[in-house]
Amino acid sequence: MQSPSVTQRAKPPVPHIRCLSDPDLLNPEVQAPGKHKSNERLQLAHRALLVVEAPSSRNGRKIKHFLNSLRIDVKVVSKSKTFPPLSSKKSARYAVIVFENYNSYLKLDSWSRQLIDKYCRDYHVGIVGFIRPPREEGTHVSFVDGYQLTIQYKLELEDIKLNFDSYVWRVLKPGEVWKGFLPGKWAVFHSNHSTYQNLAYSRLSSHFLEFDASDDSYLHGFKYVTSVMDKGEIDGIPKILFGNDLNFWLHTVMMVDTLSYLSFGKLELSLDRYIQIDVDDIFVGKEGIRMTVDDVEALVATQDRLQKDVDGFQFNLGYSGGFYLSGNDDEDEGDKKLLEHRNKFRWFSHMWKHEQPHKFPDDYVENSMRLNKDFAKEHKISVYGQYTVAPHHSGVYPVHEPMYKLWKEVWGVKTTSTEEYPKLMPAWQRRGFIHSGVMVLPRQTCGLFTSTIFASDYQGGLQGLDTAIQGGETFQTVLTTPISIFMTHLSNYGNDRLALYMLESLVRFIKCWTNLRLLSLPPVELGFKYFEMFPQEKEPVWTNPCDYYRHKELWPVNKTCDRLPDFIVVGPQKTGTTALYSFLSRHSSVTSNKPSLKTFEEIQFFNSNNYYLGLDWYMDFFPQRKKPNDTILFEKSANYFDSEVVPRRVSALVPRAKIVVLLMNPAKRALSWYYHMRYHKDPTALNTSFHDIITAGEDAPSKVKRLQSRCLAPGLYAQHLVRWLDYFPAKQIHIVHSDELKNDPVSVMENLQKFLHVEPQINYARYLRYDPVKGFYCVVLDSGQTECLGKSKGHKYPPMDKASERHLRRYYKKHNTNLSKLLASFNSEVPEWLKQELKEVTPGKS
Ligand SMILES: [Zn+2]
Residue 365 maps to which CATH number? 3.20.20.370
Tell me if 386 sits within 8 A of 415, measured CB to CB: yes
Does the pLDDT at position 662 exceed 70? yes
CA of 372 to the centre of ligand 1 (A): 14
pLDDT band at 794 (very low <50, low <70, confident <90, very high): low
Q: How far is the CA of 281 from the centre of ligand 1 (A)?
A: 5
pLDDT for the residue 625: 85
Chosen domain end from 242, 262, 282: 262
Q: Are strands 126-130 and 47-52 parallel, antiparallel or unpaired?
A: unpaired
* Least confident among 99-108, 197-206, 311-320: 197-206
Residues 6+ apart with CB under 8 A from 160: 177, 178, 182, 200, 201, 202, 226, 250
- Answer yes or no: do 472 and 381 share one domain: yes
Residue 385 annotated as part of some ligand binding site:
no
**Residue of higher predicted confidence among 140 and 606:** 606
Do 669 and 529 reside in the same domain of the chain?
Answer: no
Residue of 139, 115, 117, 134 whose CA lies nearest to 126: 117
How many other CB atoms are there within 10 angstroms of residue 796's CB atom? Answer: 6
Is 21 inside a domain boundary?
Answer: no
34 is in an annotated binding site: no
Residues 157 and 282 grouped into a single domain: no
Ligand 1 center to residue 3 CA distance, Å? Answer: 25
Task: Identify the active-site residue in 64, 574, 658, 668.
Answer: 574
* DSSP three-state, residue 130: strand
Q: What average pLDDT does the segment 807-822 reach? A: 95
**Tell me, what CATH number does 73's domain have?**
3.40.50.880
Same domain, residue pair 323 and 247: no
Q: What is the pLDDT of residues 9-43, one digit of tens each?
A: 678 999 999 998 887 788 877 877 777 876 655 57
Residue 275 has pLDDT above 60, yes or no: yes
Reference 231, options 149, 153, 348; nearest CA is: 149
Question: What's the domain range around 150?
Answer: 38-262
pLDDT at 793: 61
Task: Convert the pLDDT of each residue in 517-551 to its tens digit.
Answer: 999 999 999 999 999 999 999 999 999 999 999 99
Residue 792's pLDDT is 59
pLDDT, one tens digit per residue, over 595-629 is 887 766 789 999 999 999 999 999 999 998 877 67
Give residue 13 CA to ligand 1 midpoint distance, Å: 25
Which long-range contacts (C-beta less than 8 Å, at least 24 apart) are formed by 302-309? 302/500, 302/503, 302/504, 303/344, 303/345, 305/504, 306/503, 306/504, 306/507, 309/507, 309/508, 309/511, 309/518
In a domain, 544, yes or no: no
DSSP-H helix ranges across 757-824 = 802-823
Residue 1 lies in a domain: no
Per-residue pLDDT tens over the stretch 382-422: 999 999 999 999 999 999 999 999 999 999 999 999 999 99
**319 CA to middle of ligand 1, Å?**
9
What confidence score (pLDDT) does residue 844 get?
46
Domain boundary among 234, 262, 290: 262
Q: How far apart are CA 536 and CA 382, in angstroms?
A: 34
Q: Is residue 102 situated within a structural domain?
A: yes
Is pLDDT of 342 > 60?
A: yes
Tell me, yes or no, whether 330 lies in a domain. yes
- DSSP symbols for 533-545: H-GGGSS-----G
Give the pLDDT mean for 561-576: 94
How high is the pLDDT of residue 219?
Answer: 52
Is 27 a member of any domain?
A: no
Q: Is the pLDDT of residue 181 over 70?
A: yes
Tell whether 603 and 704 lie within a shared domain.
Answer: yes
For the segment 328-342, the average pLDDT, to the nearest whole number, is 97
318 CA to centre of ligand 1 in angstroms: 8
The pLDDT, as a whole number, for residue 846 is: 40
Task: Please indicate, yes or no, whether residues 569 and 532 belong to a single structural domain of this protein.
Answer: no
Residues 656 and 524 in one domain: no
266 marked as part of a ligand binding site:
no
Q: Looking at this protein, which amino acid is placed at residue 428?
A: W
To the question of whether residue 588 is assigned a binding role by annotation, the answer is no
Q: Given a cut of 80, is residue 212 above it in pLDDT?
A: no
Tell whether 578 and 452 lie within a shared domain.
no
What is the C-alpha to C-alpha distance for residues 411 and 390, in angstroms, rounded to an integer?
13
Residue 574 is among the residues annotated as catalytic for this protein: yes
Cβ atoms of 732 and 749 within 8 Å: the answer is no
Mean pLDDT, all residues of the chain:
92
Torsion of CA 389, 390, 395, 399, to 10 degrees: 0
Three-class secondary structure of residue 634 per DSSP = strand
Percent of the chain past pLDDT 70, that is, above it, reads: 95
Asked if the model's pLDDT at residue 296 lies above 90, the reply is yes
Is 551 annotated to bind a ligand? Reply is no
Domain-embedded: residue 14: no
Q: What is the mean pLDDT of residues 717-745?
A: 96
If one counts the domains in the chain, the total is: 3
| 781 burial level (CB within 10 Å; 0-12, 13-18, 19+) | exposed
pLDDT band at 209 (very low <50, low <70, confident <90, very high): low
- Is residue 512 in some structural domain? yes
Of 238, 262, 286, the residue that ends a domain is: 262
CB 492, CB 452: distance < 8 Å: yes
Instruction: Quote the ligand 1 centre to 540 CA distance (angstroms).
Output: 24
250 and 341 assigned to the same domain: no
- Mean pLDDT on 770-791: 86
User: What's the alpha-carbon Rg for the chain, to the nearest Å?
Assistant: 33
Q: Which residues surround ligand 1, an ion (CB under 5 A)?
A: 280-281, 391
Taking the CA atoms of 379, 384, 389 and 390 in sequence, report the sign of the dihedral they define: positive
- One domain, residues 225 and 298: no
The rounded Å distance from CA 120 to ligand 1 centre is 52
Cα–ligand 1 centroid distance for 392 (angstroms): 6
According to the annotation, is 796 in a ligand binding site? yes
**Greatest Cα pair distance in the chain:** 106
Q: What is the rounded distance in angstroms from the CA atom of residue 529 to the CA atom of residue 523?
A: 10
Q: What is the pLDDT of residues 76-118, one digit of tens each?
A: 999 988 888 898 877 889 999 999 999 999 999 999 999 999 9
> Any binding-site annotation on 777?
yes
**Cα of 351 from ligand 1 centre, angstroms:** 8
Assign residue 801 the CATH number of its domain.
3.40.50.300
User: Any alpha helices (H) in 470-606, and if so which ranges?
Assistant: 473-480, 498-513, 523-533, 549-553, 577-585
CA–CA separation, 82 and 84 (whole Å): 6
